[in-house]
Amino acid sequence: MSGLDLPPSPDPTAGGYAPTPSDPGYSDPLSAPPAGPYPPGVGAYPPGAGSYPMPPGVYPPPPPYEAPYPYAQAPTGNGYAVTALVLGLISLILSWFPGVDWVLAALAIIFGAVGISTAGRRGGAGRGMAIAGLVLGVVTAVLGIIFWAVIYAGFAGAQCAYGC
C-alpha cells in the first residue's frame, strides 16, 4: 500500500453518516424529552415526596453546616485607668523635682476620675487601677504641699536669723 492507510469511507446508502434534517424520519435530539434516571416502564418517584431520588452511584449532598460557636468578646480595657496609674507612679517617683510633681499629680487625678467613671459604664473594667492612680496623684500632691511648706519654713526661718 502506498499513501495513507485510511479506513474505507462509509456507504451513504447504508446509513453510516449522521442523519440530517433533510433525511426522512429525522428527529431533532434537542426537542426530545430527556431520558430519566430509570429505565422505561419503571414508575416515577412517588408524587408529592419532594425531590427526585439520587441516581445510583451518586452521593447525596452533605448536610448544612451548623452555626459556629459565638466568639468570646474581647475584654474591654480602660485606657484612662492605665494612664492614671502610670502617671501616679511617675509623679510619685519624680516628686522631688519641683514643678514636675504638680503637673503629673494633676494629670493622674484627672485621668483617675475619668477612669473611675469609664469603669462604671464598662462593668468595672479597670476600676482598681483608676483608684490607685487617683490615690497616687493625691499622695504626690500632698507630698508636694509638704515639701513646699518645709522649704518655705526653712527660708522664712533663715531670713529672721540674719536680719529680723
Q: Average of pLDDT values for 33-40?
A: 55
129-155 pLDDT, tens digit per residue, is 999 999 999 999 999 999 888 888 877
Q: Please say whether the beta carbons of 117 and 156 come within 8 A.
A: no
For residue 50, name the pLDDT band (cuts at 50, 70, 90): low
Q: Average of pLDDT values for 53-75?
A: 75
- What is the pTM for the complete model shown? 0.51
Is the pLDDT at 26 greater than 70? The verdict is no
Which of residues 42 and 132 earns the better pLDDT score?
132
Cα distances (angstroms) measured from residue 148 to each of 55, 142, 143, 151 = 95, 10, 9, 5
Is the pLDDT at 62 greater than 60? The verdict is yes
77-127 pLDDT, tens digit per residue, is 889 999 999 999 999 999 888 788 889 999 999 999 999 999 988 888 899
In this structure, which long-range contacts are made by residues 148-156, counting pairs with CB atoms below 8 Å and at least 24 apart in sequence?
148/98
